[in-house]
Structure 1
């Protein structure tokens, strides 16, 4: 367990994750994974380094990192449930993620966001240095088909 303060705690223990809550948020409330199936969420969790944020034992935040633990990491599915936003829990989560011992000295750590640039800029994330070098296969509505 990684603790930030006396009331908000962050853990990488996957057995503590509230998978139904994570699934509901991603499939119904997120702007990036609406319609995602529960089996896909479960497989993504199983194959990632996951961080649960807990307040009084209840999970209120989540972040997932896809990584090889040597050169590259991509932070995805970062959220705080709506009723707990505005209290700094998202900042605390990101800080814990970036300080995790297994995620140090990586050449590249990425995040993709449509609406939280100022939040991630606080943690030294910047626009791509060479966007012309990046390519992607992107299927934005894959979970809705």
Structure 2
């Protein structure tokens, strides 16, 4: 599950911007069930966002945490970063804002959805989760991890 936390001063993004950004980010992850992709906008008061000790209302901090697909390798990691930045570009870069982005990778074994260990990538169980768009129990024959 990629979790995207987007920190900015209140008002930087409109509700329509937020919807479009969330849709753009979700579309980056074509191989994942859509419900895996979580986007959280964290709006901060103007007097509570500082860069280098100075108030800054023109900066966006994007922190992404990957769980479903980790340790994907150098070139693939760059492709994912580029795709995420492209989804943000109309709302950050094209508006002249400054931004910072990073991807943290957590251990897949420490992740659960509704109390269930997620199916392995590309398995019938993962395909089923994508079809029903939620975490549901699956049997051993659908995933080698059980």
TM-score by length of 1: 0.30
Q: Which has the higher contact order (CA 8 A, sep 6+)?
A: 2
User: What is the TM-score normalised by the length of structure 2?
Assistant: 0.30
